[in-house]
Amino acid sequence: MLELFIGDKNYSTWSMRPWLVIQHFNIPFTEHLIAFDHFDVDSQFKQSILKINPTGKVPALVDDGFLIWDSLAICEYLAEKFPEKHLWPQDLKQRARARSMSAEMHSSFMSLRSCCDMNLDADLKHIGAQLWQENLKLQHDVKRIEQLWSERPHPDSFLCADEFTIVDAFYAPVVMRFMGYGIAVSANSQRYIDKILAVPAVQQWIAEAQAEFRFVACEEQYRSQV
Ligand SMILES: N[C@@H](CCC(=O)N[C@@H](CS)C(=O)NCC(=O)O)C(=O)O
């Protein structure tokens, strides 16, 4: 039995990625949401997740007692466990490209990640406009992402295949950030954004984030209590 441990859907981008994959590909799993309070060692969150994952982070996947941690390793494990579901693109080169892009997401875009936290509940367009003026590194991150998105096989395809694959799950939280902070993108990028927003698993994540929303101060750079 697969058990996926995640954080608050409003904030947790790393949880969102494997959750979208497991949900989109209809893989049976049990979800355990470990609510964020803060990330100090004495937090409720740490007390709970440390019993499952010694890194003290989400996401974590437990398969009949066997732990897999880190979003990318979890997606790789699912791809190997369910080869018939084609979680990566079937074309060799597109598969390599999808892995390159996922790894780049995993290790880059520090400005976007640090100043534009995902916050599905918040409209932060005024903050986004200000950040855009002041932060050249943010502009650089967005430009690189738009370049990657523009190189998809067809304007109407997902990033590396006609179908949604792991790499799209890796960039879905970027779509959420662009929307929340009102980052203006090209018509071609907007086409990809619309495609991601039409994926039922993405819609479900957003709806559940809204339904379960809790204000978590340490995840809110730009808002005080709502
Ligand atoms: N590289 C890890 C990052 C995991 C991560 O940073 N998760 C955040 C939640 S989105 C977390 O658990 N933070 C707790 C902390 O930093 O103490 C992955 O891809 O899974």
pLDDT at 150 over 90: yes
Structure tokens at 176: 């959420």
- Compute the distance from residue 22 Cα to the ligand 1 centre, in Å: 18
Give the whole-angstrom CA distance, residue 22 versus residue 76. 11
Per-residue pLDDT of 151-188, as tens digits, reads 999 999 999 999 999 999 999 999 999 999 999 999 99
68 in helix, strand or coil? strand
Are 5 and 58 in contact by the 8 Å Cβ rule? The answer is yes
d(CA 148, CA 97): 10
Of 201, 225, 203, 202, nearest in space to 214 by CA? 225
Residue of the nearest CA to atom 6 in ligand 1? 57
Q: Which residue has a Cα nearest atom 12 of ligand 1?
A: 57
Contact 34, 49 (CB under 8 A): yes
pLDDT confidence band for 226 (50 / 70 / 90): confident
Contact 79, 170 (CB under 8 A): no
> From the alpha carbon of 46, which atom of ligand 1 is closest?
17
**Structure token digits, residue 202:** 């993405």
Condensed to tens digits (0 to 9), the pLDDT of residues 23-55 reads 999 999 999 999 999 999 999 999 999 999 999
What is the pTM for the complete model shown? Answer: 0.98
Helices (H), the chain: 13-24, 44-49, 71-81, 92-107, 110-115, 125-134, 136-150, 166-180, 187-197, 200-211
Buried b / exposed e over 151-160, threshold 16 CB at 10 Å, is: ebeeeebbbb
Question: Is residue 190 over pLDDT 90?
Answer: yes
Whole-number Å distance between alpha carbons of 155 and 152: 7
The residues lining ligand 1, judged by C-beta closer than 6 Å to any ligand atom, are: 7, 12-15, 39, 56-59, 70-72
| Secondary structure class of 5 (helix, strand, coil) | strand
**Nearest atom in ligand 1 to 12's CA:** 10
What is the predicted pLDDT for the residue at 225?
A: 79
How many whole angstroms from 99 Cα to the centroid of ligand 1?
A: 20
- Which atom of ligand 1 is nearest the CA belonging to 59? 20
Ligand 1 atom nearest the C-alpha of 106 is 19
Nearest CA among 41, 49, 36 for reference residue 8: 36
pLDDT > 90: percent of the chain: 99
